[in-house]
Amino acid sequence: MTTMLEVTDVTAATCCAPLVREPLSAAEAEDLASVMKALADPARLRLLSIVAASENAEACVCDLIEPVGLSQPTVSHHLKVLTNAGFLSRSKRGTWAYYALVPGALDRISQVLVTS
Amino acid sequence: MTTMLEVTDVTAATCCAPLVREPLSAAEAEDLASVMKALADPARLRLLSIVAASENAEACVCDLIEPVGLSQPTVSHHLKVLTNAGFLSRSKRGTWAYYALVPGALDRISQVLVTS
What is the rounded average pLDDT of the residues A52-73? 94
* CB-based contact B45 A33, cutoff 8 Å: yes
Helix axes A42-53, B26-39, angle to 10 degrees: 120
Give the model's pLDDT for residue B59: 97
Mean pLDDT, range A92-99, rounded to an integer: 94
In chain B, whose CA is at the least distance from the CA of A56?
B20
pLDDT over threshold 80, residue A1: no
Q: How far apart are CA A48 and CA B33, in angstroms?
A: 12
Question: Are A20 and B107 within 8 A, CB to CB?
Answer: no
pLDDT at A19: 86
The ipTM estimated for the assembled molecules is: 0.83
Spell out which residues of chain A touch residue B45, defining contact as CB-CB under 8 Å: 19, 24, 29, 32-33, 36
Q: What is the pLDDT of residue A4?
A: 40
A6-20, A36-50, B31-45, range with the lowest pLDDT: A6-20
Q: Could you give the percent of chain B with pLDDT greater than 90? A: 78
Task: Give the dihedral of Cα atoms A60, A66, A68, A71; nearest 10 deg.
Answer: 90
Nearest in space to B38 (alpha carbons), one of B85, B77, B1, B71 = B85
Partner-chain contact A32 B50, CB within 8 Å: no
Distance, in Å, from the CA atom of B47 to the CA atom of B87, rounded to the nearest integer, reads: 11
Residue B16: its pLDDT value, please? 64
Mean pLDDT for all residues in chain B = 86
**Gap between the Cα atoms of B26 and B42, Å rounded:** 27
CATH 3.40.50.1000 fits B28-113, yes or no: no
pLDDT tens readout for residues B47-86 = 999 999 999 999 999 999 999 999 999 999 999 999 999 9
**CA-CA distance, B58 to B74, in Å (whole number)?**
19
Q: Is the model more confident about A13 or about A15?
A: A15
For residue B23, which residues of chain A lie inside 8 Å, CB to CB?
46, 49-50, 53, 67
Contact B37, B12 (CB under 8 A): no
Q: Would you kindly state where each structural domain of chain B is located, as residue ranges?
A: 28-113
Non-local CB neighbours of B95 within 8 Å, separated by 6+ positions: none
Among B87, B40, B46, residue whose Cα is nearest residue A19: B46
Quote the pLDDT of residue B21. Answer: 85
- Cα gap A111→B9, rounded to integer Å: 28
CB B83 within 8 A of CB B93: no
CB pairs under 8 A between A and B: 122
Question: Cα(A54)–Cα(A64) distance, rounded to whole angstroms?
Answer: 11
